[in-house]
Amino acid sequence: KTANAGDSTKTDIGKKVKYLSEPLISSIYTADPSAHVFNGKIYIYPSHDIDAGIPENDNGDHFAMKDYHILSMDSIGGKVTDNGVALDIKDIPWAGRQLWAPDAAFKSGTYYLYFPVKDKKDVFHIGVATSANPAGPFKAEPEPIAGSYSIDPAVFTDTDGKTYMYFGGIWGGQLQRWISGKYEADGSKTDSKQEDAPAISCKVALLKSDMKTFDGAVKDAVILDSLGKPLLTKDHDRRFFEGSWMHKYNGKYYFTYSTGDTHLLCYAIGDSPLGPFTYKGVFMKPVEGWTTHHSIIEIKGKWYIFYHDTQLSGKTHLRNVKVTELQHNADGSIKLIDPFL
Ligand code: FUB
């Protein structure tokens, strides 16, 4: 695959491929699936891809989504229900354009939908909306979460009840424009441009019990190499790009993420949800399409990865969500998944 977000060509495997799994739904295009088990049922919170007729570019302007549909299924392999529009951009008071990858959480009878969208000045922030029903409809708060920026919220509740939000993405996700602590509108379009410096980290914030505000400062979710040194900007095969997720397995914290322009899903393991995390390897090879974005859940004693590719459209901005099993090896490593047979 090329390292160019504007390139929608298929993988070098070409068209004669057999996919590991099939799209979960074909009536609409869906991507960035954040899956959760609520009340024993699986709910998938994806982006809803549309063709807005916007040319592809490295900024991701062609990802011009305008609403969310939540999918649900009683079991893996079961019937998939599209629960209709759960939140529309027109009902988010502060939103400008581009409703990107969401996530959800549950606490004390309320479901929370976390979503990144550009404000009216074209700067990404993360908003929150609430509902009594996991499939919505959701009502958005009037303002974005104070102190939030960039994209791809992933919300993790630890076994002690504390909830954390991981967020951020470089390039079109704008994380590199916040290095100074303030948004730099004329900043880099890609990364820090400091090739030998530590790569820009994914961010992590503790959520207050209201689930709508950050509790204290936003921190770096640092990824270290096997020698304990932070991964560097130039290390495109291993450094964080976007699409983080957290799952806990055998008491360890598994920070998983996309490397973006090198199209890999990688994992790093730590002893705290705040990190640091030590890089362990690739756990999913590139899918068809430029972006790769996932979530991981456990249900009925098995682990699954939800992901997307472009099987239905062949176009990088019109994606379809999928699911397949994820296996942890006895030594705690994750078995490598190839999305093609
Ligand atoms: O869907 C828009 C963006 O593409 C997401 O926010 C990224 O993670 C990538 O999948």
DSSP secondary structure of 80-116? -EEEEEEEEGGG-TTEEE-----EEEEETTEEEEEEE
- Compute, in angstroms, the gap from residue 125 CA to the centroid of ligand 1: 14
**Mean pLDDT of all residues in 173-195:** 97
Residues flanking ligand 1, CB < 6 Å: 31-32, 47, 63, 100-101, 151-152, 169, 242-243, 291, 293
What pLDDT sits at residue 26?
A: 98
Candidate list 49, 103, 191, 242, residue with the active-site label:
242
- Compute, in angstroms, the gap from residue 160 CA to the centroid of ligand 1: 30
C-alpha triplet 15, 17, 19: angle, nearest 5° = 125
Average pLDDT, the chain: 95
pTM of the predicted model as reported, rounded to 2 decimal places: 0.95
Provide the strand spans (E) within 219-263.
Answer: 219-221, 223-224, 242-249, 252-258
**Mean pLDDT of all residues in 135-162:** 98
Contact, 339 vs 289, CB < 8 A?
no
Question: Which numbered atom of ligand 1 lies nearest the CA of 116?
Answer: 6
**Per-residue pLDDT tens over the stretch 59-103:** 999 999 999 999 999 999 999 999 999 999 999 999 999 999 999
Distance (Å, rounded) from C-alpha 103 to C-alpha 295? 10
- Mutation to probe ligand 1, out of 8, 29, 47, 245 (largest number of atoms < 8 A from CB): 47
- Mutation to probe ligand 1, out of 59, 66, 151, 175 (largest number of atoms < 8 A from CB): 151
**Res. 263 pLDDT band, cuts 50 70 90:** very high
What pLDDT sits at residue 15?
A: 57
Give residue 312's Cα distance to chain centre: 21
Decide if pLDDT at 188 tops 60. Answer: yes
Decide if pLDDT at 118 tops 70. Answer: yes
Amino acid at 128: V
Decide if pLDDT at 278 tops 90. Answer: yes
Candidate list 32, 56, 261, 288, residue with the active-site label:
32
Distance (Å, rounded) from C-alpha 7 to C-alpha 63? 13
Residue whose CA lies nearest to ligand 1 atom number 8: 243
**Res. 133 pLDDT band, cuts 50 70 90:** very high
- Compute, in angstroms, the gap from residue 98 CA to the centroid of ligand 1: 10
ipTM above 0.85, yes or no: yes
**Mean pLDDT of all residues in 208-214:** 98
Active site residue 242: yes
**Per-residue pLDDT tens over the stretch 290-335:** 999 999 999 999 999 999 999 999 999 999 999 999 999 999 999 9
What pLDDT sits at residue 17?
A: 80
**Res. 6 pLDDT band, cuts 50 70 90:** very low
Decide if pLDDT at 9 tops 80. Answer: no
Decide if pLDDT at 4 tops 70. Answer: no
- Compute, in angstroms, the gap from residue 74 CA to the centroid of ligand 1: 26
- Mutation to probe ligand 1, out of 58, 126, 293 (largest number of atoms < 8 A from CB): 293
Active site residue 32: yes
Q: Which residues contact 15 (CB under 8 A, 6 or more apart)?
A: none
| CA dihedral sign, ordered 72, 74, 75, 77 | negative
Decide if pLDDT at 10 tops 60. Answer: no
Distance (Å, rounded) from C-alpha 187 to C-alpha 171? 10
Which of 105, 36, 59, 39 has its CA nearest to residue 323?
36
What pLDDT sits at residue 283?
A: 98
Distance (Å, rounded) from C-alpha 23 to C-alpha 339? 12
Decide if pLDDT at 179 tops 80. Answer: yes
- Compute, in angstroms, the gap from residue 317 CA to the centroid of ligand 1: 9
What pLDDT sits at residue 3?
A: 36
**Res. 269 pLDDT band, cuts 50 70 90:** very high
- Compute, in angstroms, the gap from residue 23 CA to the centroid of ligand 1: 18
